[in-house]
A and B are shown apart, each in its own frame.
Chain A
């Protein structure tokens, strides 16, 4: 169920070369970060809402309908829904594969580091030309 949920909120986007949430092995992270009780509680809620709205369990819905149910779950129990969703976002955006695809610079940042090109400091000329702006203080 975590996999299906991840694919619902973070589906693949081939155009941007971004894999889906379930394909990068972050279920364990989400399970560790959230308590099992809150995950169970949330998935029960998703199923309940899916039954109420579409008379089917969450897992049997189309991606579009699953997303509707996730949005509904936020209205029903915002704290619980956001806890699980934020754990998923955190897991996804700290995953090595995702960071490399973004691109987010060197992954991990150390020891490779990143390069920024030479700056054009001549932009400061007008600031310099306008002259002193600090206040004089006569003691």
Chain B
């Protein structure tokens, strides 16, 4: 295998942004290794009436339900929240909802402002340029003028909120609380060569229309045109080192299961908050008996997952609530920032979710004894379908070294590489945030005239946001990479995904993760020739 300049491991949200950014200098030879295959949009579940069934099958966000050989086992029994992801070309963005708010200025200064967590090694202003650049590439809808944020420059028109959005928006107004149309990685009109959203609904099983900004339709088409080579069904299992503490390249299994080695001047990891520590920990050698970048035992520590609280209410009138992009409608950041009169530090976003589709309405209604079997079934069903509104509370999760990802040699992937084991406990602050958030969710839903039908936290199957497991910082004793995503002590090894988050904020992570990727790659491009000379 010929040596290349850069090898990127992982083709998801961050790997794609890195591939695009670095390939703008077309002289570079860049290879991306991706352990999964390419999803075929012409076969996405939305093409079939029974699309809902795929949510517990091939389009499930639980690796244990998918039966996909690209997945590695994740043992999350020691966590109240189970891990969700997608391993394939485009990574978890294939299934994500595309809810795309940025971090706030205060999110980068948590320790100095509130005495908890840690400060990031830079400020919001240092990332702003890259937020803008990323949003342009991903195609973000929303509305400028939001008082919860510094001014956004440019957005596509907001996703329609529909009758349900108007209903709940009026209730937020009555309480004097903030709300705003969601920032959504969803084309509301044609953007790039992608068509507009047609309100199919099942964004979480893949967008057949190509309107949702998953990276297979945003960054990747351009990166491929710019010459990046992607090798799918290729699972990296070890980063090789030379005698001078430089990464030499990546060992991987190719699509036939044959061991290969890709030599590279620069190695970039973008395998997600679970996959990245797994690969670092598995890169053991006599020089690195505990894995790479792990001299101080920080790799895999400080896992943050945004524990989620959920409250749902049912209304008398038809709100068409099952129509439209499920995760993107409106949000409220009334309780985002720390306030002295609350029992907790930091806060949360309230993400208003559309109502459940038919099968989910029937199944959950039956399980919760709301929708009976027999002659009253249909009348009861019609009381819920298209008439419910949900609110997800996305709680800021503070870093705790005990919350961690480790290797699980007992459970291996298809090639015999160890899986991952997750240990996670809810912190007291998080519990208080969730309790406050679910109670405020009830308040606003009742204000809107709804009858609350369920409210609980944390919701188990919501470990979508995986952060902090290779955190950045100035001090090698307490962090894994520096402010440029560069491994402490291994200057040509970079981590660019949300593993490097210092704190979690209380918003979905991709807008910030990709902006960071672009920031790191921008710096890398400026220093690449020097880096390549010295390795």
The answer to whether A107 and B49 touch (CB under 8 A), given A86-B363, A113-B200, A137-B123, is yes
Is A131's CB under 8 angstroms from B147's CB?
Answer: yes
The 0/1 profile, CB within 8 Å of A marked 1, for residues 89-123 of chain B is 00000000000000011101100010000000001
Q: Does A124 sit within 8 A of B, measured CB to CB? A: yes
Is B199's CB under 8 angstroms from A116's CB?
Answer: yes
Interface residues of A (CB under 8 A from B): 8-11, 13, 16, 18, 63, 67, 70-71, 82, 85-86, 89-90, 92-96, 98-99, 102, 104-121, 123-124, 126-128, 130-137, 139
Segment touching A, from B64-72, B260-268, B317-325, B483-491: B317-325
Contacts of A71 in B (CB 8 A): 373
Contacts of B358 in A (CB 8 A): 93-94, 98-99, 102, 104
The answer to whether A127 and B180 touch (CB under 8 A), given A9-B373, A134-B337, is yes
Segment touching A, from B21-29, B159-167, B526-534: B159-167
Segment touching A, from B5-13, B40-48, B442-450, B461-469: B40-48
Pick the contact of A124: B108, B143, B378 (CB < 8 A): B143
Segment touching A, from B171-179, B225-233, B275-283, B432-440: B171-179
The answer to whether A128 and B359 touch (CB under 8 A), given A16-B378, A108-B49, A135-B104, is no
Q: Which residue on A lies nearest to B52, using beta carbons?
A: A94
The 0/1 profile, CB within 8 Å of A marked 1, for residues 193-227 of chain B is 00000111110000011000000000000000000
Is B105's CB under 8 angstroms from A134's CB?
Answer: yes
Is A134's CB under 8 angstroms from B166's CB?
Answer: no
Compute how far the CA of A96 lies from the CA of B161 in the bound complex, rounded to whole angstroms. Answer: 27
The smallest C-beta distance from A102 to any residue of chain B, in angstroms, reads 6
Q: What is the size, in residues, of chain B's interface with A at 8 Å between Cβ atoms?
A: 71
Q: Does B169 sit within 8 A of A, measured CB to CB? A: yes
Contacts of A107 in B (CB 8 A): 49
Interface residues of B (CB under 8 A from A): 44, 46-53, 104-106, 108-109, 113, 123-125, 143, 145, 147-150, 158, 160-162, 165-166, 169-170, 172-173, 176, 178-181, 198-202, 208-209, 320, 322-324, 333-334, 336-338, 357-359, 361-363, 366-367, 373-375, 377-379, 382, 385
The smallest C-beta distance from B222 to any residue of chain A, in angstroms, reads 25
Compute how far the CA of A13 lies from the CA of B165 in the bound complex, rounded to whole angstroms. Answer: 31
Compute how far the CA of A124 lies from the CA of B173 in the bound complex, rounded to whole angstroms. Answer: 8
Q: Which residue on B lies nearest to A129, using beta carbons?
A: B147
Compute how far the CA of A89 lies from the CA of B172 in the bound complex, rounded to whole angstroms. Answer: 36
Contacts of B113 in A (CB 8 A): 135, 137
The smallest C-beta distance from B382 to any residue of chain A, in angstroms, reads 6
The answer to whether A85 and B379 touch (CB under 8 A), given A99-B358, A102-B358, A111-B208, is no
Is B106's CB under 8 angstroms from A135's CB?
Answer: yes
Contacts of B322 in A (CB 8 A): 104-105
Q: Which residue on A lies nearest to B172, using beta carbons?
A: A127
Is B363's CB under 8 angstroms from A109's CB?
Answer: no
The 5 closest A-B pairs by CB, nearest first: A113-B198, A94-B50, A109-B200, A13-B378, A116-B160
Main secondary structure, interface of A, reads loop
Pick the contact of A127: B179, B362, B385 (CB < 8 A): B179
Is A114's CB under 8 angstroms from B199's CB?
Answer: yes
Q: Which residue on B lies nearest to A136, using beta carbons?
A: B105
Contacts of B359 in A (CB 8 A): 89-90, 93-94
Is A8's CB under 8 angstroms from B160's CB?
Answer: no
The answer to whether A137 and B362 touch (CB under 8 A), given A11-B374, A94-B53, is no
Pick the contact of B145: A8, A67, A128, A135 (CB < 8 A): A128
Pick the contact of B178: A13, A112, A113, A133 (CB < 8 A): A133
Is B337's CB under 8 angstroms from A137's CB?
Answer: no
Pick the contact of B362: A70, A92, A105, A120 (CB < 8 A): A92
The smallest C-beta distance from B415 to any residue of chain A, in angstroms, reads 31
Pick the contact of A116: B323, B367, B378 (CB < 8 A): B323
Pull 14 A–B residue pairs with CB atoms less than 8 Å apart, ordered by A: A13-B378, A16-B378, A90-B53, A92-B362, A94-B51, A94-B53, A94-B359, A106-B200, A113-B198, A114-B198, A117-B162, A134-B147, A135-B338, A137-B124
Is B106's CB under 8 angstroms from A134's CB?
Answer: yes
Q: Which of A9, A105, A131 neighbours the largest number of chain B CB atoms within 10 Å of its CB?
A: A105
Compute how far the CA of A13 lies from the CA of B323 in the bound complex, rounded to whole angstroms. Answer: 24
Is B374's CB under 8 angstroms from A9's CB?
Answer: yes
Question: With contacts A114-B201, A118-B160, A124-B169 known, what are 11 further pairs, Cβ within 8 A?
Answer: A13-B378, A86-B366, A93-B362, A102-B385, A114-B324, A119-B166, A123-B173, A133-B148, A134-B149, A137-B124, A139-B125
